Amino acid sequence: MNFQDIVLWSKTEIEKFLEKNPKWIVVIRWATATGKSKLSIELSKFFDIEIISSDSRQIFRKMDIGTDKVSDEILNQIPHHQVNIIDPDQVYTSGEWQKDAKKQIKEIQSRWKIPFIVWGTGLYIDTIYKNFDMPEIWPDHDFRKEMFDLENKEAWILHKRLSEIDPEEAKKHHPNSTRYIVRALEIFHKSGKTKTDTFKEQNVEQPILMIGIRRDKESTKELIAKRIKEMINWWLIEEVKWLLKEWYSPTLQSMQWIWYKEVVGYLEWEYDIEEMENLLNKNTQYLAKKQRTWFRRYIEDWEKHPKKDVSYKVWYLD
């Protein structure tokens, strides 16, 4: 199916869904470089929408190129929420995102517009799709530092510790996914309850139409490689230089994201620009693989145990 067909089929599905559900939400999700934001922009020509970003990187101000934000022109054309809301040295939890997104959904609907949740952080989407009853467990920076120090001394020790405390949660994460593992350990440290016990899935609050876009792996690889070259040409290295000059430490969570940490390594003379590009490609491919794995769970739900008041559509893009 070509992209224009996906636009028209999505338009039809949204119209059908709207007839049955006057108060509803559209979610567009899949891995990086599959055309999620492009689809939402095209659909805005047919529907009066506002977009809620579910990208955990685009929440940061001053980080534009490396987070692949849409242009200022589009941001002005289509109202966007959860974009540019905190500085790179601030922390924003998935619980805060859920609370703010639910508030924004109601406000958008009160204006008789359609809330579109777009982009690719699976945990953010799950806070709405699985409607977790999430506790307010605030970050404990001393505990986090202690955990990261342990991991630096002995690789994968945190995953081993999480496997002993909460084996079900540990199965969801690669041992290198340190940030997510630390958060799960932090929840147990602060509350005495595992993340599995804490994040209880509930029915959705409002009907949801889940639209997924799938590409084959080879075309995704080609698009990722093209995007990386474009980012470098669009002054990605200069953006990271500026952030460092503004005293944003390379150890910050925001600076440890893909597309920033690789450039920091280049700027600190750990490798040349060719190796930096190779690392960007390798790590972005790995991110796309993780996202595909996460979002396949929605397909499994659709096929085996669909959630009440959720409709599922998956388009395969040529």
Distance CA 166, CA 70 (A): 38
Question: What's the pLDDT at 214?
Answer: 85
288 neighbors 294 (Cβ within 8 angstroms): no
- 112 and 251 belong to one structural domain: no
pTM, two decimal places: 0.87
Among 189, 95, 175, 92, residue whose Cα is nearest residue 145? 189
- 91 and 67 belong to one structural domain: yes
Q: What is the pLDDT along the chain (318 residues), one digit of tens a residue?
A: 888 999 999 999 999 999 988 888 999 987 787 788 889 999 999 999 999 999 999 999 999 999 989 888 998 899 999 999 999 999 888 889 999 999 999 999 999 999 999 977 888 999 999 998 877 787 888 999 999 999 999 999 999 999 999 999 999 888 988 888 999 999 999 999 898 888 888 999 999 999 998 888 888 889 999 999 999 998 999 999 999 999 999 989 899 888 999 999 999 999 999 999 999 999 999 888 888 888 888 989 999 989 999 999 998 887
Distance CA 76, CA 70 (A): 10
Question: What's the pLDDT at 9?
Answer: 93
Per the document, the length of the chain is 318
- 158 and 255 belong to one structural domain: no
- 17 and 127 belong to one structural domain: yes
Question: What's the pLDDT at 129?
Answer: 95
Domain holding 70, by residue range, is: 3-134+202-215+291-316
One-letter amino acid of 150: L
297 contacts: CB under 8 Å, gap ≥ 6: none
Question: What's the pLDDT at 197?
Answer: 86
Distance CA 51, CA 175 (A): 33
The pair of three-digit structure tokens given for residue 156, joined into one six-digit string: 């994968």
Beta partners for residue 25, in sequence order: 208
Distance CA 224, CA 232 (A): 12
**DSSP H stretches of helix in the chain:** 3-20, 36-43, 72-77, 94-110, 122-129, 141-153, 157-165, 167-170, 178-191, 195-198, 217-233, 236-245, 261-267, 273-304
- Backbone phi and psi for residue 182, each to the nearest 5 degrees, phi listed first: -60, -40
- 91 and 191 belong to one structural domain: no
- 211 and 78 belong to one structural domain: yes
- 172 and 57 belong to one structural domain: no
60 neighbors 87 (Cβ within 8 angstroms): yes
Q: Domain with 92 in it: what CATH number?
A: 3.40.50.300
- b/e 122-157 (16+ beta carbons within 10 angstroms → b): bbbbbbbbbbbebeebeeeeeebeebbeebeeeeee
- 70 and 206 belong to one structural domain: yes
Q: Domain with 262 in it: what CATH number?
A: 1.10.287.890
Neighbours of 249 (CB within 10 A): 12
Question: What's the pLDDT at 37?
Answer: 87
Question: What's the pLDDT at 253?
Answer: 86
Q: How many structural domains comprise the chain?
A: 3
Question: What's the pLDDT at 246?
Answer: 95
- 208 and 61 belong to one structural domain: yes
- 156 and 209 belong to one structural domain: no
Question: What's the pLDDT at 45?
Answer: 95
Q: Domain with 188 in it: what CATH number?
A: 1.10.20.140
Distance CA 174, CA 177 (A): 5
